[in-house]
Amino acid sequence: MLPNPQFPPQGALRQPDGSVVWRIWAPRCESLALITCPGDQRQETPMTRDSQGYYIHREPDVDEGLRYAYKPDDGGEYPDPASRWQPEGVHRPSAVFSPEAFRWADQQWRGLHPDELVLYELHVGTFTAEGTLDAVIPRLPALIELGVTAIELMPVAQFPGDRNWGYDGVHPYAVQNTYGGPQALQRLVDAAHRAGLGVFLDVIYNHVGPEGNYLGLFGHYFTDRYHTPWGDAVNYDGPHCDAVRQFVVENARMWVRDFHIDGLRLDAVHAIYDFSARHILEDIQEGVREEAARQGRIVHVIAETNQNDVRQISPTSQGGYGLDGVWNDDFHHSVRALLTGQRDGYYQDFGRPEHLAKAFNRVFVYDGNYSPYRQRRHGSRVGELERTQFVICIHNHDQIGNRPQGDRPSTFLSDSAQRLACGLLGLSPCVPLLFMGEEYGETRPFPFFCSFLDPELIEAVRRGRWEEFAALKFNWGGKIPDPQAPETYRSAKLCWQWPQGTPHAQMRQLYRDMLAARRRWPALRDRSNTSAELAGLDHMAAGPTDEDADPAAPILVIRRGSSNDLIACANLTSDMQPRPPLELGTRQVLLSTEELRYGGSRTAKEPRDSLLPYELIIFGPSEWR
């Protein structure tokens, strides 16, 4: 019997004796040379090939930051696809980086339990004026005071140019040079942990960006058997896929081991095609858990997907992939469609009050029932799975940035409707995610932007944006910002201001109070007991295909806790509504989203048995106040 082949880590890896081993999987190359540039010299050294197609070379006494490249038999010189550092961008030589040299001060940090998670998604380039990882650090205290427990960074893997959403990364192991490089990410994570914040990272394992992508020159990383909307599909189940799978699993391990990342958000796993007996998602989860166990920390792996498929979080013993969590877009879509009236694209599946009720009751609105948008049944039932395995939001980078102009809901929703959305997010038993700036009603847009270097690719991106929105027939009434223009990027920089007494400050106070309530009120800490119904109906909301339900039922009643200690009424309309009869007992008003301190209009003159437009009132024991 032949021995199982070995697939070791790739890159320029520092050894305990100080030497560096360069290793790259390049079975497509007949020969390969290592080009190094110590000082003003240029050295070309043939590398040794093993039986699995790995080329290897070892050097003693290698300086940190030494520039190097690979020269295959085609005569070109290319950066390392597994580079840990690209100081001069995607096309220039790589640099030796030794992550173990960093002196961590987070030894007491043990990670976050799922019950504690409140995620805050941010884009490093637009979160601050400086647009760097180091510049995030001074803003951490404000996020802690808000009630956030972990920041979630949009992708930081090296991409072309100096501005990009991050989903066009081509060096998955290297941290973007214009953000400060790998050393800056270590500094940010260490500072966050010392302050009591976790750090999650968005990673892309479904495709690699188009410019500066040299992987295919060296090995069989891609396949033409499947296709993604963003580029060639990764070869997870075809010939030679074992080394590709190792490349991806080692990348996930690296973020945990070398950067102490607390969680990975796996981008668009529905575009990861793998029909192996063991799915690549299982391998990723196992690798992350092993690294987390070595460090004695909790680390989460959460899949972003539109499949509504509980197999991704079901135990492997039950045929699942065993991931720690999954996104639930149905909550966002239910709130968004209901409050805006938007019905294009996938929003046509949403917009009725019973959709929102079902999102509270069963998590997935589409859990095996018919989807008009897909014209087929969609999703699977959640059942008794822990609600902390599902991440929800009312804003995220996709839902804002994929609008033609990247305009935020704060520019087209009333303040009352925004406050209602905040209250609904806070009352859900699932894990809440905020998108940077939503907590104070940021009005600056978050449009799609990039800084490609290839003129043909730039024009293709511009043309693609126009064609995409023309096909959707959006009534957007204006010009689509040029994604390549620097001013498009600059327009997305947060104002990061909430002067006292302003609507920004009032909105932020509501978010702060709702997040504090999730920590303090026992009924909101109880994630197992949630029910929602529509006032005026004599049955619990059954789902989006229940044509007998009254689509105009305006009041959502939410109960939380094993004894229904907390009861909330949400007016889902822009008109004043009578409050439905409730068995409140000794419960008192704990919070109204229309209180004056939040910018609302509820005063002592307003009738207590009515609900103001888009008002949410929460009742509970007086001692919770």
Q: Which amino acids are annotated catalytic?
A: 267, 304
- Coil, strand or helix: which one is 616? strand
In angstroms, rounded to a whole number, what is the distance separating the alpha carbons of residues 278 and 264? 20
473: left (phi over 0), alpha (psi -120 to 50) or beta: left
Helix ranges, 431-502 (H):
455-472, 486-490
In angstroms, rounded to a whole number, what is the distance separating the alpha carbons of residues 615 and 611? 6
In angstroms, rounded to a whole number, what is the distance separating the alpha carbons of residues 622 and 539? 30
Query: 217: which 2 tokens?
Result: 């020159």
The b/e string for 271-296 (b: 16+ C-beta within 10 A; e otherwise) is bbbbeeeebbbbbbbbbbbebbeebe
Nearest to 119 by CA among 317, 345, 394, 311: 394
- The number of helices, as runs of H, and strands, as runs of E, in the chain is 15, 29
Query: How many CA atoms lie less than 13 Å away from 612 in the CB half-sphere?
Result: 22
Kindly list the distances between the CA atom of residue 145 and the CA atoms of 32, 177, 195, 624, in Å, as whole numbers in the listed order: 53, 30, 11, 20
Angle at 219 between CA 214 and CA 225, to 5 degrees: 95
Query: 299: which 2 tokens?
Result: 């680390």
- Coil, strand or helix: which one is 125? helix
Query: Is the dihedral angle over the CA atoms 607, 610, 611, 612 positive or is it negative?
Result: negative
